[in-house]
Structure 1
Amino acid sequence: MFHPLELFVGLRYTRAKRRNHFISFITLISMLGIALGVTALITVLSVMNGFERELQQRILGMASDVTISPFEGGLRDWASLEKRVAGAPGVTGVAPYVQGEAMVTAGRAVSGVLLQGIVPAQQGQVSDVGSHMVSGHLSALKPGQFGIVLGRDLAAYLGVGPGDHVTVITPDTTVTPAGILPRFRRFTVVGVFSVGMYQYDRSMAFIDMQDASRLFRLNGVTGLRLKLQHVMAAPQVAASLSRQLGSKYWVSDWTQENANFFHAVKTEKTVMFVILFLIVAVGVFNIVSTLVMVVTDKQSDIAILRTLGLSPGRVMRIFMIQGTIIGFIGVLIGILGGVMLSLNVETIVPAIEKLFHVQFLSPKVYYISQLPSHLEWRDVLHIGVIAFVLSILATIYPAWRAARTQPAEALRYD
């Protein structure tokens, strides 16, 4: 079988037992350094992807894909507008809502709350909160009965549950003979929800839309919430609806409402990539030191090959092949380790937490209390290719030094 001389010698240098065991140790460290860097990079990016995906799903489960609201006052002609936008391309659900900030009290506990008035029968078209009910149902919200559904953490803070009563105080005031008093209304807790995000579970509550309109003295509704077939098409759909509806309405999408948050996640992901890639760079740098020592150790061999007629370019390729093999093995081990670790993060982390009785992500501090992971093969390909290319580039200088070896000088003392 035909084997190019450069490949044959390069493979032999890679697998042969060297006189200097220190070089073998440095070669192993180079492989492990690259493997560790690639493994860490794939795993961390998978966790970051998991965080981004999980947060996006939870945020979009509560927020609107697209929101339509008037520039001033309430939306009075919402029924006709609802029929109009329901047939728009890409829109799968439409629901009106009333929203306002208020205070909720129970006993001595007081907390701010984002109060949202909904139509329970339509809420499932635009939100997933109905599938996250811990107790009770959204259908228990009836017009005129002043029922309220609280987030789990908010209910725990107030010390209430289904059947208990809370008092809602709005910023609007009422003029009475006794003076100016805030508006307040007693509500009965009819349900508790938990979406797994402290931001919503601690500061959000739902009531019937008609009760909300009366509570906030709103003529109409705050706006319409839209659910789309493809969530990533929200900017295009919002722009199209804005052109159709004219300047009378304000049309926004989820990318605008949560832009700063997702930009921060993207920036953090980029920074983590740069920082962790330094580990790969350390492993690649070790290839340089390894090949330099190999070239020094093989001076006589190189001189003999040169005297037999091997050109400097072919000598250079020998050591480039050796370094490339080291890099390839390290990258391959790193990819295998990173993929296996990324696919099992959600199993490994809970086991470690249970073993050492710790909790890495407290729900009171972080948006998500579990460590998610989402492996994207595009990231694996990019990391593998970049690490392998750097490994090849790292072989150029040592191989160039080997090509410059002068046979007479190398064999003078042999």
Structure 2
Amino acid sequence: MLAFELAQRFRKTRSEQRFISFISMSSTIGIALGCFVLIVLLSVMNGFEKELTSRILSVVPHGELYSKSESGIENLDAQLYRLSQDSRIASVTPYTGITGMLQSKGELKAISVTGIPVNSVSDKYTERVTSEDWQRFSTQKNGLIVGKGIFASMDLNIGDIVQILIPQTTQDLTFKAPRSITLSISGVLSVGGELDNQLGLMHLETASEAIGISSKSQGIQFTLIDPFSSYDTMRDIGYSYPQGVYMSDWTRTQGHLYNDIQLVRAVVYIALTLVIAVACFNIVSSLVMAVRDKQAAIAILKTMGATDRLIRNTFVLQGVINGVIGITVGVVLALLVAPNLSEIVRFIEVAIGIEILSGDIYFIDFLPSDLHWQDVVVTVVVAMFLSVGATIYPAQKAAKVSPSSALH
């Protein structure tokens, strides 16, 4: 292709064209850097979203219905069976929730304990509780599993006897002396972040008895096929439920994490797309100077019969070559780094002795990465579009060069 051959020749640098070459190289480096950072950061955002789903949403229910009545859920078994037939629901679990103060060795700490049917939910906690702790918990009716943060901050040990103080109110909304439950520490729950300082697990029967639930449970927890549809799904189920219930979903309690991830993703995409765009403006600068420098050559080509289309395509290809080189280098580097980012960051943490993500603050203690090919494709398409767009003005300017004035 003649236009490609001419573009390759025009890219060759003479000593007096080194400044043009420098600008051209800077545009290539800018595009490569923009594509590399954009793909890597999008992979990090994907990693956070994946960890949110696999960690937080594996323990926190996607949705909840809990009875307005103090007696609990009516006709529990029939309702569980009916709800389990819904194609949007993966599983339903009865539960009783208790919020109170955990007392041990003269210390108090707020805790949110969930009473669960131990035998039917063991798979849900296999990665968060050791098999030894779960076995001990399942055989102790008064057993209590507490979050890792609570276990450490209160200096607890397996087998310690603790009390949970449950506040009570009267009809006139005055407080009575709290009700007390005596339990034994059976194990440790490790979810990550603030949840380790809040959560606890106990037997459903013990929890229901402690707060006077006359039915089997206070409410029902839902695990959905699509957890991100929880808002609409739970309201659809709640409004049609035959009993007066309150409804909730994970977006009310943990949704800020997901919203933060989406906000950062949008900001990253906009910012780094602008970086690529700025790099592409350097293509405009380099091509405009190249057109001015090559006016005589363009004029000679036109006198030899070269059409405006050929001249235009020559300079478009010259700019596109810079874009393709930059995109290729950036994408290849990103494909090498993104899948191994967690290990690279872990090595850096060990080398410099600084922890980037603290498990006490964040719900994970490492930098996750999950490369999605659609992110790579979108990045390449956007970068190519900007690269081609940057060549249009200089190419038009080259096509309008007049042989008579250029050779004068």
Normalising by structure 1, report the TM-score.
Answer: 0.89
1:102–1:163 Cα change, 3 Å: same
Residue of structure 1 equivalent to 2:33: 36
Aligned partners of 2:119 and 2:138 also within 8 Å: no
Question: How do 1:214-363 and structure 2 match up within 5 A?
Answer: 214-220=209-215, 221-229=217-225, 231=227, 234=230, 238=234, 241-242=237-238, 245-246=241-242, 248-250=244-246, 252-255=248-251, 258-363=254-359
Q: Which runs of 5+ in 1 are unaligned?
A: none
Residue of structure 2 equivalent to 1:98: 96
1:90 Cα offset (Å): 5.0
Amino acid at match of 1:39: F
**1:178-220 Cα distance to aligned partner (Å, 9 max, x none):** x94222233211111212x122211111111122123223333
Q: Which runs of 5+ in 2 are unaligned?
A: none
1:202 correspondence with 2:192: no
Question: How do 1:389-408 and structure 2 match up within 5 A?
Answer: 389-408=385-404
Aligned identity (percent) is: 31
1:403 Cα offset (Å): 1.9
1:396–1:277 Cα change, 3 Å: same
Alignment equivalent of 1:52, drawn from 46, 49, 52: 49
Aligned length: 402
1:242–1:185 Cα change, 3 Å: closer
Structure 1 Cα separation of the partners of residues 113 and 87 of structure 2:
30
Give secondary structure in 1 for the equivalent of 2:127: helix
1:25 correspondence with 2:22: yes
Structure 2 Cα separation of the partners of residues 140 and 397 of structure 1:
74
1:306 Cα offset (Å): 2.0
Structure 2 Cα separation of the partners of residues 164 and 135 of structure 1:
19
Alignment equivalent of 1:131, drawn from 118, 122, 127: 127
Structure 1 Cα separation of the partners of residues 176 and 246 of structure 2:
34
Structure 2 Cα separation of the partners of residues 207 and 244 of structure 1:
30
1:23 Cα offset (Å): 1.8
Structure 1 Cα separation of the partners of residues 255 and 360 of structure 2:
23
Amino acid at match of 2:166: T
Structure 1 Cα separation of the partners of residues 178 and 245 of structure 2:
31
Tell which deviates more after alignment, 21-30 or 282-291: 21-30
Aligned partners of 1:94 and 1:122 also within 8 Å: no
Give secondary structure in 2 for the equivalent of 1:363: coil
Normalising by structure 2, report the TM-score.
Answer: 0.90
Give secondary structure in 2 for the equivalent of 1:396: helix
1:87 correspondence with 2:85: yes
1:257–1:360 Cα change, 3 Å: closer
Alpha carbon RMSD of aligned pairs, Å?
2.5
Residue of structure 1 equivalent to 2:144: 148
Structure 2 Cα separation of the partners of residues 360 and 255 of structure 1:
27
1:389 Cα offset (Å): 0.6
Give secondary structure in 2 for the equivalent of 1:227: strand
Structure 1 Cα separation of the partners of residues 235 and 242 of structure 2:
11
Amino acid at match of 2:315: F
Give secondary structure in 2 for the equivalent of 1:381: helix
**1:206-248 Cα distance to aligned partner (Å, 9 max, x none):** 1111221232233332211233455456567646645763464
